Chains A and B, each alone.
Chain A
Amino acid sequence: MEQHNRFWRIALLAAPLAVFGVFVIWPLVSSFYYSVTDWNGFDPDYQFVGLSNFAKIASDRLFLQAAVNTSLWMAAAIVLPTSLGLLLALLLDSRVLGARVFKSIFYLPICLSAVIVGQIWTWIYQPDWGLLNTVITQVSGEKFKYAWLAKPDTALWSVIVAWSWQQTGLAMVIYLAGLTSIPGDLLEVAEIEGATQWQRFREVVLPLLAPSTVVVVALSVVNSLKGFDILYIMTGGGPFNSSETLAMHMYNESFKKYLMGYGAAISVVLFGVAMAIIGLYFRQLRKVDRIYG
């Protein structure tokens, strides 16, 4: 039996591991390699430059800007779609009329491409006839023509809002599943003990949603790190690199400036951040699982 098992382990794992290894693991390792070279993307001649790429990062003003932006995005990711998603899930869990329709509406943005989402929101932010300015004009009485995406102060946040619009549905769905997994008995005990709605939420529901919260926050943060497509479409990192994130910065350095080695170095940093987050996520998940699992 054991021989049979051994054979089939290899037989079944061979293809997936090969594909994954060649096209994911090896490029990952290569990235680490390129980060210490000065390769420009097409020249077969390039040299080992040690850690100079990384040193360059430390003094790269654009990198710092991108890092700040990425952190802002991650922070927004932790707060915005999470709390909105939780609110929606709580509202929808009350068996209100048309819950299914509402759920679809909030969840719909997930199936749209980042390009489309970027497109849609670019129109909302359009200075002359975009929805946002139209509404503000109506409300304030005077013609409002602020160019949300073209001003450094608001460009990044405009993109983050658009991104949250899409991400909220995901958070909502995960929280809804978490809510249904709370045993009905516990809520009945709370009722018998005379808990008010708020007490019931704070003492019973919210703590028992901890596993879902961990997942939602982790997914949001990871997705924010990956957020490239929507940024590319809406601002391209502009104006004047003010809305650039690390992913975008990496892309620009590699494919616009042909500094592939440097770009690889940035991606190594990006990878490190991502892995740190994953590590935190798994650790938190295990802790939470032990309590509620």
Chain B
Amino acid sequence: MAQLALSNLRKSFDAHEVIKGISLDIADGEFVVFVGPSGCGKSTTLRMIAGLEAATSGGIALAGQDVTGLRPSDRGIAMVFQSYALFPHMTVAQNIGFGLKLKRTDRATMAAAVAKVAETLQLMPLLSRYPRELSGGQRQRVAIGRAIIRDPKVFLFDEPLSNLDAALRVQMRLEIARLHQKLRATMVYVTHDQVEAMTLADRIVVFNAGQIEQVGTPMDLYDRPANRFVAGFIGAPAMNFLLLHRAADHVEVLGLGQVHLPPDKASAVEIGIRPEHLAVTEPAPGALQAEIELVERLGAETYAYVRIENRPVSLTLRLPGETILRPGAKVGLQLDWTKAHWFEASGRRI
């Protein structure tokens, strides 16, 4: 039995349909990430699960129970907002214990519950502080604490790391991962950052324009993207895409010369190849010639942006860190065709 089941969820604002039929099963204890570009519907779907938005049609079931018509507070969910939404006029302890206070829990029970949560998140020394006195990371932990204390069936995270600077983001990402390991709770996490998706998720759900493009483990999505959109969205630097050109008796990739079209890829119109599946060699006659346009050295890796000679084709290559290349240099290009992805006209991968 799925912990969280979405059946054909649809949402329209006036006449405009934004969520076009989402069906998904999430298992107990799973960490699922909703990822996609801005406006793809991932946050709207999350808010529908929370009950903050009403679904126009379709169903949501939590631990077997249909919660589609229930109020947010009755669904057994807890949500961590992008802005953390901490009450500025309450202390950390009061923020975390807010839900209990509403239920008129006695002070002793409340204090014990808050303390327990605070221990888990190392918030004990901060209990009597106010949100304005806390750092970004601390605030986020308080927001998480407020969610944990509800003992929810599902944790919902709405882009919780977007407000943090880069270094803090990495640190908090790890904390969330550790939290999931410790609590073993079902978590649904929304982000536009595919790095967060890849690193945190048990399974990733890729959203685009109100629909699910693909659901799978991070490596599934990376090695076997279902379509061009997922292939281009997952992975950084992005996959290189090249159009296929059909001549009378052969097929060629513009700029790269002829290719042998495997029989089961007869309907392909486009090829995708990841930057790490390209290599540079000494320029040799007959082999592919390319010119280095720009080089980015990151230390552990080097990205090279090359142009095919005389063609309007640019490729991105991922190379080992020690590679020494100069812009303007002429090199030979080697592709690992076995790792290429073939896409047909509809975008589906074949």
Contact = CB atoms under 8 A, between A and B. Distances in A.
Contact of A186 (B77, B85, B102): B85
Interface residues of A, number: 21
B50 interface: yes
A77 interface: no
A154 to B, nearest CB: 41
Interface string B83-96: 10101110000000
Contacts of B87: 186, 189, 204, 207
Contacts of A190: 98
Contacts of B78: 192
Contact of B89 (A191, A193, A199, A207): A207
Given A188-B52, A291-B130, A291-B132, A193 B99 contact: yes
Contacts of A72: none
A203 interface: yes
Given A185-B81, A192-B72, A192-B73, A292 B98 contact: no
B106 interface: no
Nearest to A192: B72
Interface string B11-28: 000000000000000000
B130 A194 contact: no
B79 interface: yes
- Among B51, B71, B89, residue most surrounded by chain A Cβ atoms (within 10 Å): B89
Contacts of B99: 193-194
A185 B88 contact: no
Contact of B73 (A193, A204, A210): A193
A67 interface: no
A44 interface: no
Interface in A191-209: 191-196, 199, 203-204, 207-208
A188 B81 contact: yes
Interface in B100-126: 101-103
Given A183-B83, A185-B81, A186-B85, A192 B50 contact: yes
B128 to A, nearest CB: 14
A187 to B, nearest CB: 9
The winner among A186, A188, A192 for most chain B CB atoms within 10 A is A192
Given A189-B81, A194-B103, A208 B89 contact: yes
B74 interface: yes
Interface residues of B, number: 25
Given A183-B83, A291-B132, A195 B102 contact: yes
Contacts of B88: 208, 291-292
Contacts of A189: 79, 81, 85, 87, 98, 146
B54 to A, nearest CB: 13
A185 B139 CA distance: 15
Interface string A254-293: 0000000000000000000000000000000000001110
A186 B82 CA distance: 12
Nearest to A195: B102
Interface string B270-284: 000000000000000
A204 B74 CA distance: 20
Interface string A156-190: 00000000000000000000000000010110111
B50 A194 contact: no
B89 A292 contact: yes
Contacts of B146: 189
A57 B221 CA distance: 87
A183 B85 contact: yes
B52 A199 contact: no
Contacts of B101: 203
Contacts of A196: 102
Contacts of B102: 193-196, 199, 203
A197 to B, nearest CB: 12
Q: Which 6 residue pairs of A and B lie closest in terms of their CB atoms, listed nearest first?
A: A194-B73, A185-B85, A193-B99, A207-B89, A192-B72, A189-B85
Interface of B: 50-52, 71-74, 77-79, 81, 83, 85, 87-89, 98-99, 101-103, 130, 132, 146, 150
Interface of A: 183, 185-186, 188-196, 199, 203-204, 207-208, 210, 290-292
26 contacts: A183-B85, A185-B83, A185-B85, A188-B79, A188-B81, A189-B85, A189-B87, A191-B71, A191-B73, A192-B52, A192-B73, A193-B99, A193-B102, A193-B150, A194-B72, A194-B74, A195-B73, A203-B101, A204-B87, A207-B89, A208-B88, A208-B89, A290-B132, A291-B89, A291-B132, A292-B89
Given A183-B85, A192-B51, A192-B52, 20 more contacts: A183-B83, A185-B85, A188-B72, A188-B81, A189-B85, A189-B87, A189-B98, A191-B52, A191-B73, A194-B72, A194-B74, A194-B99, A195-B102, A196-B102, A203-B98, A203-B101, A208-B89, A210-B89, A290-B132, A291-B132
